[in-house]
């Protein structure tokens, strides 16, 4: 079942609110007190909303296989929670508390993650069908307007809270009794709420080393380096093992494999907390997260572009042809090598980049990748429209038709499979 973007936005908000209610009730039951949980001032915890929205889109591709659906739910919830903690920390500039979970490297945390995943799965199986049944009762225009308004308010809330964190820290608010300006009152209120909800929270330190710690700057470089290495590894593998020398890049320009680049970022953010743990925890995390990630990438390209770039249907123990147990095993091994051996020296090398030059080059990398990715996406969409028989409707369409012909697209991605043809 396909959904409009505003319907997905509604699901995001609905489950963000229900997640906030669940955490508030759990805290009230265990501590017999109330706290406004979450990063936002609004009663929303976005990690719950994003998790359920991803599950609503992806789980139907797994059919009626309950075991695979549960595993996918566990992986998606664990990774989005880890990414949420990382993003909250970067937006606020403080060490945001991380909930003990599957990626904590202990049995208790794993059990807690399983319980949370079961709650998500039950919500998907029992509550979501009720939501789908009742959704048509709301006029589409009303649903779209309400969703857009609340999403805008959530963005404003996110920006406001982030700015309040950046303006001052808890020590300043505690020792400074001034109340002259609205901004100061806002900062004090935000810090008061957060410290009440998360007493263990710590303020971050001012960083003068480029890319210090697990920073956004460092992750940009991790993405770039891993994209280059991934493209090189896949090209050599196909050439020497399969005897086929072909482009393995994800973009129109440059030898960049987005699957490897984004995968390295996901594995780093998710599994780095396990770097001090036994290798088996890193392997288990990489095994399942890598498999789920590869599956999600395949689903994404099919939904957005109507194509898939790999098909493992011919391999034993494959999961819908999108991933397979053998490659999940390789993901686990790769994760151990990455977290234990490759990432630490790479991290130190990135931190030795001069700060000013590092910042400038980082922004150039981000801008170049965004332009390259946007052009690639538009060229792929136009390729699909041409195949469907749609004529150029604008000068930009004509530009794409002239410079990015079917022949050029198919040469750039020779392993591309059109979904409609495979189903026909």
Residue 148 in this model has a pLDDT that exceeds 80: yes
Res. 41 pLDDT band, cuts 50 70 90: confident
Q: What token pair was written down for 143?
A: 């649903």
Q: Which has the higher per-residue pLDDT, 412 or 418?
A: 412
Q: Read off the pLDDT of residues 11-20 as tens digits, 9 standing for 90 and up.
A: 999 999 999 9
pLDDT digits 0-9 by tens, 159-177: 888 877 766 554 454 455 4
Which conformational region is residue 285 in: left (phi greater than 0), alpha (psi within -120 to 50 degrees), or beta? Answer: alpha
Residue 143 predicted with pLDDT over 50: yes
**Residue 12 and residue 50 in contact, taking contact as beta carbons nearer than 8 Å:** yes
User: Helices (DSSP H) in 93-181: which residue ranges?
Assistant: 107-122, 128-134, 140-167, 170-175
Is the per-residue pLDDT at 223 higher than 90?
yes
The two structure tokens encoding residue 267? 């594995």
Mean predicted lDDT score pLDDT of the chain: 84
Whether the CB-CB separation of 191 and 168 falls below 8 Å is answered with: yes
Q: State phi, psi for 202 to the nearest 5 degrees.
A: -125, 145
For residue range 226-243, what is the model confidence (pLDDT) as tens digits?
999 988 888 887 777 767
Q: Where are the domains of the chain?
A: 5-203, 216-423
Nearby residues of 18 by Cβ (< 8 Å), 6 or more positions away: 48, 123
Q: Which residues pair with 357 in a beta bridge?
A: none
């Amino acid at each position: 079942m396909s959904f409009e973007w505003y319907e997905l936005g509604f699901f995001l908000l609905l489950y963000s609110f229900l997640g906030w209610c669940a955490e508030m009730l759990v805290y009230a039951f265990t501590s017999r007190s109330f706290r406004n949980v979450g990063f936002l001032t609004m009663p929303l915890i976005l990690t719950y909303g994003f998790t359920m929205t991803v599950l609503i889109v992806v789980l139907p591709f797994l059919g009626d296989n309950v075991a695979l659906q549960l595993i996918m739910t566990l992986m998606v919830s664990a990774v989005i929670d880890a990414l949420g903690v990382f993003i909250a920390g970067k937006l606020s500039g403080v060490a945001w508390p991380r909930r003990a979970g599957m990626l904590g490297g202990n049995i208790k945390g794993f059990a807690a993650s399983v319980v949370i995943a079961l709650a998500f799965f039950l919500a998907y199986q029992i509550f979501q069908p009720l939501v789908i049944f009742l959704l048509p009762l709301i006029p589409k225009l009303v649903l779209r307007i309400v969703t857009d308004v609340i999403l805008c308010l959530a963005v404003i809330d996110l920006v406001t809270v982030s700015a309040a964190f950046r303006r001052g820290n808890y020590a300043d608010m505690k020792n400074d009794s001034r109340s002259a300006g609205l901004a100061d009152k806002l900062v004090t209120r935000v810090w008061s709420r957060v410290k009440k909800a998360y007493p263990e929270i710590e303020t971050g330190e001012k960083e003068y080393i480029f890319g210090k710690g697990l920073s956004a700057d460092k992750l940009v470089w991790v993405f770039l380096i891993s994209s280059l290495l991934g493209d090189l590894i896949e090209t050599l593998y196909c050439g020497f093992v399969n005897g086929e020398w072909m482009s393995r890049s994800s973009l129109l320009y440059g030898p960049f494999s987005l699957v490897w680049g984004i995968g390295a970022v996901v594995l780093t953010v998710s599994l780095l907390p396990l770097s001090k743990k036994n290798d088996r925890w890193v392997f288990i995390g990489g095994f399942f997260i890598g498999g789920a990630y590869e599956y999600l990438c395949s689903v994404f390209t099919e939904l957005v572009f109507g194509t898939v770039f790999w098909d493992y249907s011919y391999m034993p123990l494959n999961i819908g042809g999108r991933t397979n147990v053998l490659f999940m095993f390789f993901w686990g091994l790769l994760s151990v090598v990455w977290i234990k051996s490759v990432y630490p020296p790479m991290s130190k090398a990135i931190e030795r980049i001069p700060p000013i030059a590092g910042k400038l080059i980082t922004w150039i990398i981000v801008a170049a990748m965004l332009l390259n990715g946007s052009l690639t996406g538009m060229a792929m969409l136009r390729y699909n429209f041409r195949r469907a028989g749609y004529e150029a409707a604008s000068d930009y369409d004509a530009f794409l038709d002239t410079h990015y012909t079917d022949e050029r697209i198919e040469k750039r991605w020779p392993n591309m499979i059109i979904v409609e043809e495979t189903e026909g």
